[in-house]
Amino acid sequence: MTITPAQATYFGFSGTLLFALLLLGALTLFTYTASRRIQLLTLGGPPEDRLDHPLARLWHMAEYGLLQRKMFRDPYAGLYHALIFSGFLVLLLRTLMLVFEGLFPGAGLPFLPTGFWQGYLLVKDLVLVTTFAGVVLALARRHVAKKERLDPSFDADLILLLIGFLMVTDLGAGAAKMALDAAKSAALGATPSTALAQNALWEPLTYSLSKQFSFLSSSSLQAIYFGAWWAHLVAIFVFGNYLPFAKHFHVITALPNLFFAKLEPAGKMATFDIERAAEAEKFGVSKIEDFTWKQKLDMFTCTECGRCREVCPTHLTGKPLTPKGFMVDLRNALYADADALIDADAGRGDGSAEVALAARRPLIGGWIDEETIWACTTCRYCEHACPVGITFVDKITDLRRHLVLEKSSFPKEAQTAFNGMERQGNPWNLAASDRAAWTVDLPFPVLTMAEAADAKLAGGVEVLFWVGCAGSYEERGKRVSRSLARLLHEAGVTFAILGTEETCTGDAARRLGNEYLFQTLARQNVETMKGYGVTRIVTNCPHCFNTLANEYPDFGGTFEVMHGTELVSRLVREGRIRLVNGEARSLSFHDPCYLGRHNGVYDAPRELLNAIPGIVLKELPLSRGNGMCCGAGGGRMWLDETIGARVNQARFAEIEANGTDAVGVSCPFCMVMLGNAKTELAGRTEAYDVLELAAQALPAHPG
């Protein structure tokens, strides 16, 4: 739709001046709004470096932003989003061209080669249709083929209609001008130019529509052209300036948010200087400005698509927490106080900003209820599902840190667990001296690291078996510990335990907000293991696994950590373990959140189950990355559940509906939660740990 010199007079000086003023006004308003948003990002909060590993960040942005990897988990939504997104990418150049024409009528675009421009026009013509189709499909999803996750939204409808309007006005302006060019050529008695003759080739859709306009007069065509042209550009200016105030701000912020995404292991929580925080008498987050700039960028970027809540255990069981609602509430809190926060940060004004902030609605207990904060199981389904890289768990735990360490306000049951971890080294409050009692019934000795050091074993200890609190004290957990010990012994693996020197990793303490207790336990455990020269660890508890592997390096504890199913499945592959006994049974497998979504271990338990004779694995509808939490994570194992349905019962009901003889687990917490649900619901599906089943399949030995 390049304006020729002949049409340059249609704009006139006044039209060009008016357009320039509108453009200047739109850019000024957008710059002002964007600068205010940037000020919100940078005020308050601790510093955060997100510029490391730039190539990895670029690839992450391309994979999830440009290639839309997560969007196609919902194929329908992925299709229409890809159509609209591709339209934005292609038509960006188109928009620049239209702005250039408005400022310099008749000048064309001299910086674009003819061949490139012709190819672009062909793609542009196609994209006008596909983008409009994407808009129709998106509106149909919201109003016809509705999804539960999508709430009614005037904002979403307005943006979609505006995008559709841009496609229609672009096509209308192009067709009218093409018809006008043809009419002027005919009026002059000239034959169609080469450029006009090629319209059917390079802009077939626009050309076809222009033929429908051929009966109109030149004045009518000129009116349609300029009407559509002005409507299109004004709509773009409105669209661009509306974005920072709408959920569609993600059009601008999604790619940066993905570039600055967390590159550390998914299950790792950030470690802060507890001593410095104590000196400042400030722990966690109590005000919206206390969040880091990246956490605020997350708030800007939430698309309210609702994917985060589809398998969210708190949403499915009627708790006050839904990830989408939580993020929207945080964003509303940030926007509500934006002017006062910016003015106070800049030290401007007469003190009214400070007065307004002192009287504002509190973040905790105002925008966010405490029940919402304590409901989260930290299962990370929300983060797994989010297509724009938003994290939720870090914000929840930051709020918990404030409540626990600064306000001493937390569920009373948590105090029992804290006391047990602090005094006995386990949240059950059982005697530390009994930590190795589970080894008594084994037909072979299990040495502690201290005993192994005294015995000076030939070849040393290959691997430390980190038993964990559940594996040491909980009855079913102790059976699984004995199973793993038997499997290691069968394979000839030289292992040892810490015995009474082992204490809780602090996973639950950290996720319940007691960072001080966690760091105390972490330093103690790291010092103990480094004292014995530990390099390799195996554990059956995914929570211990995640903490040891991902969080202890911050305290100098860098170890090779394996989950029990990873090590045993490898030993089976190597032929060091033979699984020969088994009974025919069908089995579901429940993916532990801290093994799967936190650490990407999905295949090892399944590989081990498939190696056991007689077992037929039948996947649950919600499995792997979409697996539903048992309800124990995030310290919820130690808290009462009084609101809505019980998470463990909801998960167990799905397992029962799968119709298998049993369910396999690979986490002691999941074992407890599903076992409790079986009792509470009088169910029939028994839960077995995968290692327990593998040990049962070992060859029988005489005596």
Residue 6: pLDDT band with limits 50, 70, 90: very low
Domains and CATH numbers, the chain: 57-259 (no CATH), 274-339+353-410 (1.10.1060), 420-573 (no CATH), 585-696 (3.40.50)
With tokens 């373990």, the residue in question is 577
**pLDDT score, position 113:** 72
DSSP helix/strand/coil, 148? coil
Whole-angstrom distance, CA of residue 269 vs CA of residue 555 = 13
Categorize the per-residue pLDDT at 24 as very low, low, confident or very high, splitting at 50, 70 and 90. Answer: very high
- Average pLDDT value for residue range 416-440: 96
What pLDDT does 500 receive? 96
Q: For the whole model, what pTM was predicted? A: 0.91
Beta carbons of 307 and 327 less than 8 angstroms apart: no
| Segment 376-388, tens digit of pLDDT | 999 999 999 999 9
What token pair was written down for 340? 């006062």
Instruction: Name, in order, each residue with C-beta under 8 angstroms of 341's C-beta and a sequence gap of 6 or more.
Output: 40, 43, 44, 288, 289, 334, 353, 357
Q: For strand 560-563 and strand 463-466, is the pairing parallel, antiparallel, or unpaired?
A: unpaired
**pLDDT computed for residue 537 by the predictor:** 98
Per-residue model confidence (pLDDT) at position 116: 81
Task: Point out the least confidently predicted range of 10-24, 153-167, 407-421.
Answer: 10-24
Higher-confidence position of 3 and 516: 516
Residue 528 and residue 552 in contact, taking contact as beta carbons nearer than 8 Å = no
Q: What is the DSSP pairing of strand 585-589 with strand 560-563?
A: unpaired
Q: What is the pLDDT of residues 334-352, one digit of tens each?
A: 999 999 999 888 877 678 8
Average pLDDT score over the chain: 91
Q: How far is CA 87 from CA 27, 58, 93, 95, 209, in A?
A: 22, 22, 11, 11, 20
Rounded to whole angstroms, what are the CA distances from 441 to 111, 438, 467, 482, 598? Answer: 82, 7, 16, 8, 34
Token pair listed for 103 = 């400022």
Cα gap 524→430, rounded to integer Å: 19
Do 504 and 425 touch, CB atoms closer than 8 A? yes
- Residue range 296-318: mean pLDDT, rounded: 95
Please give the structure tokens belonging to residue 243.
């974005």
**pLDDT of res. 109:** 57
pLDDT (0 to 100) of residue 659: 95
Residue-level pLDDT at 449: 95
Residues in the chain: 703
As a whole number of angstroms, the distance between CA 487 and CA 484 comes to 5
Question: In the predicted model, what is the mean pLDDT of residues 508-513?
Answer: 97
Helix (H) or strand (E) holding 86: helix 75-103
Scan for tokens 């601008």, then name that residue. 252
565 three-state secondary structure = helix
Amino acid at 601: V
End-to-end CA separation in angstroms for the chain: 90
pLDDT at 458 exceeding the cut of 50 = yes
Q: Smallest Cα–Cα separation from 94: which of 122, 74, 66, 73?
A: 122
Structure confidence at residue 218 (pLDDT)? 86
Going by their DSSP bridges, the two strands 560-563 and 615-617 should be labelled as unpaired
pLDDT score, position 146:
84
Q: Is the pLDDT of residue 3 over 50?
A: no
> Which pLDDT score, from 0 to 100, does residue 624 have?
96
Q: What is the pLDDT of residue 617?
A: 97
- Residue 497 φ/ψ, nearest 5 degrees: -120, 170
For position 11, what pLDDT does the model report? 56
Cβ atoms of 387 and 71 within 8 Å: the answer is: yes
Q: Tokens in use for 116?
A: 């490139």
Q: What is the pLDDT of residue 2?
A: 44
pLDDT in tens, 615-637: 999 999 999 999 999 999 999 99
As a whole number, mean pLDDT of residues 446-451 equals: 95
Q: What is the DSSP letter of 434?
A: G
Work out the pLDDT band at 213, boundaries 50, 70, 90: confident
Is residue 103 within 8 A of residue 16, CB to CB? The reply is: yes
User: How far is 193 from 212, CA to CA, in rounded Å?
Assistant: 20
For residues 424 and 430, the answer to whether their CB atoms sit within 8 Å is yes
What pLDDT does 590 receive?
98
Calculate the CA dihedral of residues 553, 554, 557, 561 and round it to 10 degrees. Answer: -30
Q: What is the pLDDT of residue 1?
A: 42
Q: Which residues pair with 539 in a beta bridge?
A: 466, 563
The pLDDT value given to residue 620: 97
